Amino acid sequence: MKKQDAMNRDWIATARTLSQALPLLQRYDGATVVIKLGGHAMGSDDAMEIFARDVVLMQQVGINPVIVHGGGPMINRMLEKLGIKSKFKDGKRITDAATMEVVEMVLSGSVNKRIVQAINAQGGKAIGLSGKDANLMVCEFEDPDLGFVGKPTNISPDFLRNLADAEIIPVIAPVGAGQNGETFNVNGDTAAGAIASALKADRLLLLTDVAGVKDQNGDVMTDLVADQVRQLTIDGVITGGMIPKTETALAALDGGVRAVVILDGREPNACLLELFTEQGAGSLIRS
């Protein structure tokens, strides 16, 4: 096959893909999609660039994207550098005042601005926030033994809706405000779920480093309902780090989110594959 013929066939395939995506583009026009960014998608400049381009494209076709990010590895590196030792309870970091200062510095600072810069470099208009800005995410102590680890109790969605009206993409660090001036470290998935619930989002996409919820044979289950997820947890099929993610998904569905998808952030264009192809890209969970 001649090189020109091969190129023509590639362009034809691209045009066909765009044409087939039209019903899905129409279906999501005006929809709010909350994306929890973590794992591999934050790890390299190339992955960040692809993610940022996808987010800008989503907005261009009428979606209102809201980004909530984590940053655990970056926090660990900074704590090590500063000689602050971490203590844990039941796998959760005990966040004392000194640790909380580092958490806020890393999440609301370097991590947040890197994502904002990546989106803006692709032609988007992003703004970096934390849950403390405009009292976006008010929290209470999750467990006194964990220190300044927060449980969201109130989200202010109108502020985010105003940003969407102005075609501004919010990038939110999971740092919350307390009723008495405290600053809280909030789990990124928990924060994303609470924000998605407050916005009654059409989709909550949880980007992680696994392909989705797997069955006993290790195959990804692509379409689930809430009761199935609960039973899979009882049966010991859903285990380990997938449990808090599915718990977040169930809480978001209870809060009014239309569907939650757990998908592999290591895959290029994972969000676009999930939203704009019939087969999707991860484990979709409905109520």
**Beta strand extents in the chain (DSSP E only):** 32-37, 64-69, 87-89, 92-94, 126-130, 137-141, 150-155, 169-173, 175-178, 183-185, 203-208, 223-225, 259-264, 282-286
**What would the pLDDT profile of 50-84 be if each residue is shown by its tens digit?**
999 999 999 999 999 999 999 988 998 999 999 99
Phi, psi of 248 (to 5 degrees): -60, -45
Q: Is pLDDT of 244 > 80?
A: yes
pLDDT score for 43? 73
Domains of the chain: 28-286 (3.40.1160.10)
Contact yes or no for 179/153 (Cβ under 8 A): no
- Token look-up 């859903």 returns 238
pLDDT score for 6? 54
Amino acid at 174: P
7 Cα distance to chain centroid: 36
pTM for this entry: 0.91
**What would the pLDDT profile of 169-228 be if each residue is shown by its tens digit?**
999 999 999 999 999 999 999 999 999 999 999 999 999 888 899 999 889 999 999 999
Question: How far apart, in whole angstroms, are the C-alpha atoms of residue 243 and residue 124?
Answer: 34
Q: Is pLDDT of 163 > 70?
A: yes
- Token look-up 């059409």 returns 202
Query: How many CB atoms are closer than 10 A to CB 163?
Result: 18
pLDDT category, 9, cuts 50, 70, 90? Answer: low
